Structure 1
Amino acid sequence: MSRLTALSFALAVLATAATPVLAQNAGQIASVKRGASCPGCNLFQGDFSGLEARGLNLSGARLRQADLSLSVMNRTRFSNADMRDVEAYGGVFSSSNFSGADLTNAGFVGAYLQGAAFSGANLTGTNLSGANLSRATGLTQPQLNRACGDSSTVLPGNLRISAC
């Protein structure tokens, strides 16, 4: 291998190693904080706590480890979003769409999810303690068997949830 080829290879490796592959996109996070929709955006670890924005389209967005605590995001589309490890303590998400979203290990403690859609959502490890899911649609007992809650969790119909 020539010196030039070796040097080019070394520089390419260093450039790749220094590039954050899936880091958050600060511009996209700022845009959502101003109330803009952002389907498919990279909102990884975004701080949206206390945000009041209704009817956003965040379908397919990467919200992993984001903070949605005490936010009001009624009628927001989170369908097919990566919401693993999201913290949404006390958030208000009435009539929002979580269909197909990955909510693995998310915390919706005390959240208001009345009328929200959950068809095909992954609720593995999701904490729904004190959450109000009355009139929620698309929820199944197998989904809830992978989640947990408490005696104050409100569920539609005859659905049940195990204690955390």
Structure 2
Amino acid sequence: MLLRTATLLALVLPAVVSLPVLGASQADLQRLEVTGACSDCDLSGADLQSSHLIGADLRGTNLQGANLSDSNLEGADLTGANLTGANLSNAFLTNAVFQSAILDGADLSGSALYFTDVSNASLENINIVDAQVVGTPISVGGPYEDYEEEVIGE
């Protein structure tokens, strides 16, 4: 019965995580995989490439150096999360919340930042080359102006 349940879960739940790197907690990775939420977790250095984390609750989570490239984080709540040096290249970040998050040194190249909330977030030395930035207060070299659409790198 337990094997059947595990097999059913493997078929129903999308593949969210792979093996952790650095300090990521295996228990926290499993919690994220099973529940789609992991607030205040340690996922530092985790390989979450191509994950489906739509609407995930990741408030206060340590994602330092994590690989979230090609992931779908639409509507995810990363309020207060630490994403220092994280790889978010080609990620889908529509309506994601990064309020008061730390994104210093993060790679957002090629990402879709549509109406992404970055209020009070630390955005030092981020890479947004070829990112699609719409309705998101991120600018290069000056204050944000109310752009209808801005595509960086084209």
Aligned length in residues: 130
Aligned to 1:73: 73
Partner SS state of residue 74, structure 1: coil
Task: Give 5+ residue unaligned stretches, structure 2.
Answer: 1-21
**Structure 2 length-normalised TM:** 0.75
Aligned to 1:132: 132
Q: Which has the larger share of strand?
A: 2
Aligned to 1:86: 86
Work out whether residues 134 and 148 of structure 2, in 8 Å CA contact, stay in contact via their aligned partners in 1. Answer: no
Q: Which has the larger share of helix?
A: 1
CA deviations on 1:58-103 (whole Å, 9 max, x unpaired) are 0110000000000011000011100000001111010000111100
1:122 is aligned to 2:112: no
Work out whether residues 129 and 152 of structure 2, in 8 Å CA contact, stay in contact via their aligned partners in 1. Answer: no
1:157 is aligned to 2:133: no
Work out whether residues 58 and 78 of structure 1, in 8 Å CA contact, stay in contact via their aligned partners in 2. Answer: yes
Work out whether residues 33 and 51 of structure 1, in 8 Å CA contact, stay in contact via their aligned partners in 2. Answer: no
**Structure 1 length-normalised TM:** 0.70
Task: Give 5+ residue unaligned stretches, structure 1.
Answer: 1-21, 147-154
Question: How large is the RMSD of aligned CA atoms in angstroms?
Answer: 2.6
Shift of residue 23, structure 1, vs aligned partner: 2.7
**Counterpart residue type for residue 116 of structure 1:** T
Shift of residue 111, structure 1, vs aligned partner: 0.4
